[in-house]
Amino acid sequence: MFEKILIANRGEIALRVHRACREMGIRTVAVHSTADADAMHVRLADESVCIGPPLARESYLNIPAILTAAAITGADAIHPGIGFMSENMRFAEMVQQHGFTWIGPDPEHIRVMGDKVAAKLKAKELGLPLVPGSAGALASVDDAVTCAADIGYPALIKAAAGGGGKGMKVGRDEPSLREAYQLARSEAKAAFGDDTVYMEKYLEKPRHIEVQLLGDGKTVLHFGERDCSIQRRHQKVVEEAPSPGLNAEERARIGNIAASAATKFGYRSAGTMEFLYQDGEFYFIEMNTRLQIEHTITEMVTGIDLVREQIRVASGLPLPYKQEDITFEGHAIECRINAENPETFVPSPGVIKSYHAPGGLGVRVDSALYDGYRIPPHYDSMIAKLIVHGRTRNECLLRVRRCLEEFVVGGIDTTLALHQRIIAQQDFLNGDYDIHWLEKFLAKSKS
């Protein structure tokens, strides 16, 4: 096992990885920008190295600085956390070339899944259910029109380099499809420097269901699904496990489909397969070759520390479980709390004047905040995750409501008030929502 891991990240996820390391007897190295010298992830780590100025590009994305920090501290391995370097194939390769262990998947797996056209072709080969669409990239606008005539309208144009909704446009008939094709291409070119696009049948009201996977290169196990449909502008806001929209048969079906495809793929590390679910059918859309923010709710219902297992498989150990050893208990919900105005979503960095995190049975708060901490303006606005477990979904919902009332983050605006509004909605309480529900709710409550 590793003796020392460098954690190439900041904030709550750096703390999350640090905690797993500590429980495994592994020492940690924090890296930080000059803006983060007082950050909690630096305070808790055994050692820390300043890797550059506040701009992420010059610090948390600075490959030479991070590799140098690993070399001078004698780290054995590098954990990228989430975001920043976590799906950067070049970085993964360089970590390995410099003699460190990469705590993540095979760089080739990152590459395949990062290109959405290549990912779909691979998914097809692995036997995953796909949304009907173009066989690969679209060659021209006429190719798009021909393809749409085949699969039917509405049709969706997506960017091959995409993810996060950029370069995605719907065509509802031939003229609007021609427009969608051009718009999607120019948006993709601007966002990714790559205007390759492909087509799928547009699903109007899906849920976003994702399956947690963990593989050791030989076997991949699934840890059940999460429902991540409560989102705004492709940013998840609330996630829950299990999904209130699936029955036991559907749950078992999608878990087994995802795990057997990932096993065929030879996947090692933590990963997530994302599906759209509509009218009893699942459609693979993409695979994330990293840990996810919301892995916590899966941990709450399975009792398994996914970061610990991710570190173990990276060190070459086999998974210590069989699929039937993964059992599910109760219900978990995560609320992502951002330093933002809860109505306008304008970021609200600044000094935390008072801080109280809720506690009690079934309550976990993953956050790097402390009283007097100054949130720098340079990074993601998510400052805390409220993660709640209950024996039943109803118990979990009542507990979330209690925790939101108890949570105090003074001195800045936060989205706590937004979560209180969501948890008061009957549709949410009923589990009756799709990927558009939150945006419709916000539009309704504005007017």
Instruction: Give the binding site for ligand MV4 (CB under 6 A).
Output: 131, 156, 163, 165, 168, 200-203, 206, 208, 231, 234, 276, 285-286, 435
* Strands 281-288 and 268-278, bridge-based pairing: antiparallel
Vertex 16, ends 12 and 17: CA angle to 5°? 125
Q: Which is nearer to ligand MV4, 5 or 438 (CB)?
A: 438
Sign of CA dihedral 160, 164, 166, 170: positive
CB burial of residue 164 (10 Å; 0-12, 13-18, 19+): exposed
Q: What is the 3-state secondary structure (H, E, C) of 86-150?
A: CCCHHHHHHHHHCCCEECCCCHHHHHHHHCHHHHHHHHHHCCCCECCECCCCCCCHHHHHHHHHH
CB 298 within 8 A of CB 223: yes
The minimum distance between CB 60 and ligand MV4, in angstroms, equals: 23
Cα separation, 288 vs 24, in Å, equals 26
Cα separation, 327 vs 447, in Å, equals 45
Cα separation, 221 vs 223, in Å, equals 7
The minimum distance between CB 157 and ligand MV4, in angstroms, equals: 10
- Those residues whose C-beta lies under 8 Å from the C-beta of residue 189, and which sit 6 or more positions away, are 195
The minimum distance between CB 116 and ligand MV4, in angstroms, equals: 8
CB 347 within 8 A of CB 340: yes
Q: Which is nearer to ligand MV4, 21 or 273 (CB)?
A: 273
Among candidates 98, 94, 188, which has minimal Cα distance to 137? 188
Active-site annotation holder among 10, 16, 207, 290: 290
Q: Which is nearer to ligand MV4, 35 or 177 (CB)?
A: 177
Cα separation, 390 vs 385, in Å, equals 16
Cis bond upstream, residue 358 (ω within 30): no
Q: Which two tokens stand for residue 217?
A: 């290169």
The minimum distance between CB 273 and ligand MV4, in angstroms, equals: 12
Q: Which is nearer to ligand MV4, 335 or 403 (CB)?
A: 335
* 374 tagged catalytic: no
The minimum distance between CB 98 and ligand MV4, in angstroms, equals: 32
The minimum distance between CB 385 and ligand MV4, in angstroms, equals: 18
Q: Which is nearer to ligand MV4, 77 or 238 (CB)?
A: 238
Vertex 203, ends 199 and 204: CA angle to 5°? 130
Q: Which is nearer to ligand MV4, 16 or 116 (CB)?
A: 116
Q: How far is CA 37 from CA 18, 48, 65, 378, in A?
A: 17, 9, 16, 14
Q: Which is nearer to ligand MV4, 132 or 372 (CB)?
A: 132
The minimum distance between CB 290 and ligand MV4, in angstroms, equals: 14
Q: What is the 3-state secondary structure (H, E, C) of 198-231?
A: EEEECCCCCEEEEEEEEEECCCEEEEEEEEEEEE
- Catalytic machinery residues: 290
